[in-house]
Amino acid sequence: MAESKTKITARKIDVNGIVQGVGFRPFIYQLARHHHLAGKVANTAEGVSIHLEGPDERIEAFLSDLPKKKPPLAYIDSVHLMQEAVEGRRDFEITLSRSFGSRNTLISPDVSICEDCRREMFDFNDRRYGYPFINCTNCGPRYTIIEDIPYDRPKTSMHPFKMCARCLAEYNCPEDRRFHAQPNACQDCGPHVSLLDNKGRAVSADDPIAKTAQLIQQGKIVAIKGLGGFHLAVDALNDSAVQRLRQRKHREEKPLAVMSPDLDTIATYAHLAEAEKALLTSIQRPIVLLPKRLPEKLAFAVAPRNHYYGVMLAYTPLHYLLMNHGFTAVVMTSGNLSQEPIAIDNQEACDRLKKIADYFLVHNRGIYLRSDDSIVRHAAGETRLIRRSRGYVPVPVFLRQDVPCILACGAELKNTICLTRGKQAFVSQHIGDLENLAAEDFFKLTIRHLERILDIAPEAIACDMHPDYLSTQWAVSQNKLPVIHVQHHHAHVVSCMAEHKLQGPVIGLSFDGTGFGPDHSIWGGEVLLADEAGYQRVACLEPCAMPGGAAAIKEPWRMGLAFLHMAFGRDIWNLELPILKLTDRAKAEIILDMIAKGINSPLTSSLGRLFDGVAAIIGLRRTVSYEGQAAMELEMISDGQAHGTYPVIWHEKTCTQLDTGAFVKSLVEDIQNGLPGFITSRKFHDTVIEAFAGLCTKIRKKTQLNRVVLSGGCFQNALLLEGLINVLKTKCFEVYSHHQIPANDGGLSLGQAIVAASAVSGKTSEVN
């Protein structure tokens, strides 16, 4: 190919990032041929290495095309160029990968079936017609099937399947879409599905997927093995079937996710804006929160008392084949008992789910690592992750600078772990609430697995300060590495800073339900001056009793009484309030006694508990069946129009404290004057927004800090998030909120890791 008159040079190009298992080498091969360049490309431990020979201007053209034309799943982190000796190559070749000592390669997440594969699967003349495991280099499973790296078939759960001659020919052909697609398979050589009853016996069916569709249409509950684990599927139009699923799964009211075949079908039961359409059809295919269309079309039991549905499009070929049987929507909820991790193994699923599912649609492609569906919503102009898992993990958060290797153990609820390496922070998939042995096992397994496939040996372990968290206890029990305890709300703020590559100090608003404070009280409505190395608590909500401790989280009426006690003392029985009419007086007196005497009533400055208390006082919610339910319903009933705010009074104590009693008094006045919940709820939200935006202005005057970071579970509340962003921006603040990782405790491990990295590096804080 070399032209005799032009000067031929050679260049070595190392590309780092997510460039393996995503069709990158065939792309390089085709790009090199397009530019008439000779050379070779190979996988390396860091990514891919390219040797190019040809005229300079052609190499330049190649380099300029590289980032522009890269495959959809590839992510280029860096490109390094070096001059090399000309070898006199005549063509371009792809060299096979080998094992490497170091493992800095990035692994791609599991993504939805691509359009090409979908077309083939529904093409009667294609050899993979109707094959539920069709995939190519642009789509299919990755993270959940990898046991070790480099990412090659023997190191994946595809290793038992020997490719047939036709599949192998595709696999070896650089021009083919399936060139080096490790999960490549067809019905002759690849995995297959089978249907079982709940005793584990095979159910004979010519087409197990068609039979499954029929069973679901008859109201049966079918456990279906998917990409990252089992789903429990039931017809979302069949209320009694959905209720039966709820009873069997012990899930009272928490909304159930549904799957639909296409956007047009979704539009018949939910409102869809362009942003939501883009999220639904993205390769990650998360569950997207969508406002319900009224009257509700899906069964009431799908999302009772909620204004939203959690909806996803089909994302595996198997889902597409199933949804092709005329469904509007099928409930697809995690295949687990309440609070336990999602089941992934066929036998394990049959054992654990036999009391819930009537049938099991299983397959014989193993899942090495479970990964739940991700949950997102669009709010304040951005994608907000509520649960970051399948489709997003293990794409790292890219950091502003190199950090030491740290393992961060996350929170107790919505646990994730985080491992850091260089400029990358890997936040794991959603592990869940560490409240049982199964979840704890999954936590340990995820740590081991990620350490192996990322080849990270941590120098230190970061954990929460709460001594009772299982994740903290595990960290402390390791005994080998230094353990760094990170304050919960500091970790929240730093996680958001890390996402935006911010160097402190910043003003951090850290709002959530519960986090251990160094004063041993429960924090959760915190204003911190923070950098990566430390923080100073400058303000919080005035601490309020939580009568009964954890019981007050499940029973917001207790928080209602506690806030009324703050505002009025014990003299509350002449107030005309729904909460008091509905509460047994003798029982309430016991609670008031506990508050007054401080018996089993820890103090909390939590904003989450204030939302609970207000929801209880206005008569919206006495008890909850899942975390955050009261606050969520309070947000949902709020009026679209502003109606003013309640008085905001700050007291100077150990730190500045918001007088919650003062505005609870005004709220009670409104209720007694007959103001409906949609107005009082809106006024309450606007009061919180005004109070903290005003406080930020005061802090700016004193400190000159102009950047405000919003983090913590309360920022899943779109009204609060949008309101604070808008008001702060009109006051000319730079405002930062989460969009790569969740604002809730699912993002905590990232902040812990960065705080610990800073401690290991011996950095000192500017703010404490």
Give the footprint of Zn ion on this chain (CB under 5 A).
114, 117, 136, 138-139, 164, 167, 186, 188-189, 512, 515, 745
Q: How far is the CB of 162 from Zn ion (least distance, A)?
A: 9
Q: Which is nearer to Zn ion, 105 or 711 (CB)?
A: 711
Q: Which is nearer to Zn ion, 712 or 723 (CB)?
A: 712
Which lies closer to Zn ion via its Cβ, residue 415 or residue 424?
415
For the CB of residue 113, give the shortest distance to Zn ion in the complex, in Å.
6
For residues 136 and 540, which CB has a smaller minimum distance to Zn ion in the complex?
A: 136
Closest distance to Zn ion from the beta carbon of 435 (Å) = 16
User: Which one, 136 or 318, has the nearer CB to Zn ion?
Assistant: 136
Distance CA 677, CA 671 (A): 8
Crossing angle for the helix pair 24-34 and 56-69, to the nearest 10 degrees: 140
Is the CB of 114 or the CB of 760 nearer to Zn ion? 114
State in angstroms the smallest separation of the CB of 414 from Zn ion. Answer: 9
**Alpha carbon separation from 672 to 311, 565, 631, 666, 669 (Å, rounded):** 40, 17, 22, 10, 5
Q: Which residues pair with 421 in a beta bridge?
A: 424
Strand 506-516 with 707-711, pairing: parallel
Q: What count of residues does the chain have?
A: 768
- The nearest distance, CB 711 to Zn ion, in angstroms, is 8
- DSSP, residue by residue, 27-92: HHHHHHHHTT-EEEEEE-SSEEEEEEEEEHHHHHHHHHHHHHH--TT-EEEEEEEEEE------SE
In the complex with Zn ion, the residue whose CB is nearer, 276 or 627, is 627
Contacts of 326 (CB under 8 A, 6+ apart): none
Query: Are β-strands 359-363 and 656-658 bridged in parallel, bridged antiparallel, or unpaired?
Result: unpaired
Q: How far is the CB of 128 from Zn ion (least distance, A)?
A: 9
For the record, the structure tokens of 374 come out as 């991700």
Nearest to 447 by CA among 393, 408, 482: 408
Query: Residue 122 corresponds to which amino acid?
Result: F
Give percent helix, percent strand, percent coil of the chain, each to the nearest 5.
35, 25, 45
Interacting residues of 133 by C-beta distance below 8 A, sequence separation 6+: 183, 185, 190, 191, 192, 317, 318, 363, 365
Shortest distance, position 492 Cβ to Zn ion, whole Å: 6
Handedness of CA 339, 341, 342, 345 (dihedral sign): negative
In eight-state DSSP terms, residue 420 is E
Q: Pick the closer one to Zn ion by CB: 10 or 385.
A: 385
Give least dist CB 280 to Zn ion, A.
18
Closer residue to Zn ion (CB): 190 or 341: 190
CB of 114 to Zn ion, least distance (A): 3
Of 166 and 305, CB closest to Zn ion: 166
The three-point CA angle 73-76-80 to 5° equals 150
Residue 107, CA distances (Å) to 20, 474, 724, 731 in order = 7, 27, 37, 42
Smallest gap from Cβ 84 to Zn ion, in A, equals 35
The torsion of the CA quartet 737, 741, 743, 748, rounded to 10 degrees, works out to -120
Q: Which is nearer to Zn ion, 166 or 698 (CB)?
A: 166
Cβ 411 to Zn ion shortest distance, Å: 6
Cβ–Cβ under 8 Å, residues 370 and 392? no
Which of 103, 466 has the CB closer to Zn ion?
466
* Distance of alpha carbon 647 from alpha carbon 667, whole angstroms: 10
Min separation Cβ 748 and Zn ion, Å: 6
Contact (Cβ atoms closer than 8 angstroms) between residue 103 and residue 454: yes
Nearer to Zn ion by Cβ, of 110 and 512: the residue is 512
Q: How far is the CB of 179 from Zn ion (least distance, A)?
A: 12
Separation in Å, CA 179 to CA 11, 96, 183, 185, 474: 25, 12, 11, 12, 43
Q: Helix H segments across 469-536?
A: 470-477, 488-499
